Amino acid sequence: MILYMVNIVAEVIALPDENGFEHVTKLFLDLQKLNNREGKVKIGLLVDAMDELAKVPKADLPAIDAQYGLFFDLETEPIDGEVYKIRRETVKALREYPVYELRLSIPEFNWHFRTTFFPMEHPENEKLFYCMVFPFEKVLALGRRGNPTDRYRDRTKAIYEDVMNNFEKYRHLFDNSDE
């Protein structure tokens, strides 16, 4: 039997930070270690959000000055017999091209998750990638003081520029991405 996904236009991958640490992979490992309903729901919605992002053409990403981002209807596979669903503004531009934010908020767990990413076209085969870099949680009660978004946006932009200027250093992440 052949299984295939329809409308996939990009591959979603994790990139390491400037020190070589891959935060997105660590996030998934940490959520798996929870081994409870909350961890399973978070993973399920994150995986669905990334699957939905993979269907978005680069031209459909929100503009920097857009009032709203992209909204996704997300749901998990059944977890303990229950399917969890959310509809949220899931992709938002972060005022510094080409950095975006993948956003999930799950009120039941008071979880306001974000991860920065940027689109990248392979310089030789033009395959589109969405490169996830910094996952983090927003603590809404702290307001701007507790908002790390701008710091992660700026660091993500620097990694984007490094990838663009030093592709050979990162080539293995793009050439072996779907193996």
- Please report, as a single letter, which amino acid is at residue 69: G
Please report whether residue 155 resides in a domain. Answer: yes
Q: Which pLDDT score, from 0 to 100, does residue 177 have?
A: 56
Share of the chain above pLDDT 70, in %: 91
Is 158 domain-assigned?
Answer: yes
Write the pLDDT tens digit of every residue in 132-154: 999 998 876 555 555 789 999 99
User: Is 94 contained in some domain?
Assistant: yes
What's the total number of domains in the chain? 1
For residue 5, what pLDDT is reported? 53
Q: Give the domain extent around 24.
A: 11-175
Q: Does position 178 have pLDDT exceeding 80, yes or no?
A: no
**126 domain residue, yes or no:** yes
Whether 3 is covered by a domain: the verdict is no
**Residue 145, domain member (yes or no):** yes
Average pLDDT score over residue span 47-51: 94
Whether 4 has a pLDDT exceeding 80, the answer reads no
Tell me, yes or no, whether 1 lies in a domain.
no
153-168 pLDDT, tens digit each: 999 999 999 999 999 9
pLDDT the model gives residue 2: 43
Tell me: pLDDT of 179 over 60: no
- pLDDT tens-digit map of 74-111: 999 999 899 999 998 899 999 899 999 999 998 888 88
Burial zone of 63 (CB within 10 Å; 0-12 exposed, 13-18 middle, 19+ buried): exposed
For the cut 90, the answer to whether the pLDDT of residue 3 exceeds it is no
The answer on pLDDT for 1 being more than 80 is: no
Question: CA dihedral in degrees (122, 148, 28, 92; nearest 10)?
Answer: -50
State residue 159's pLDDT score: 97
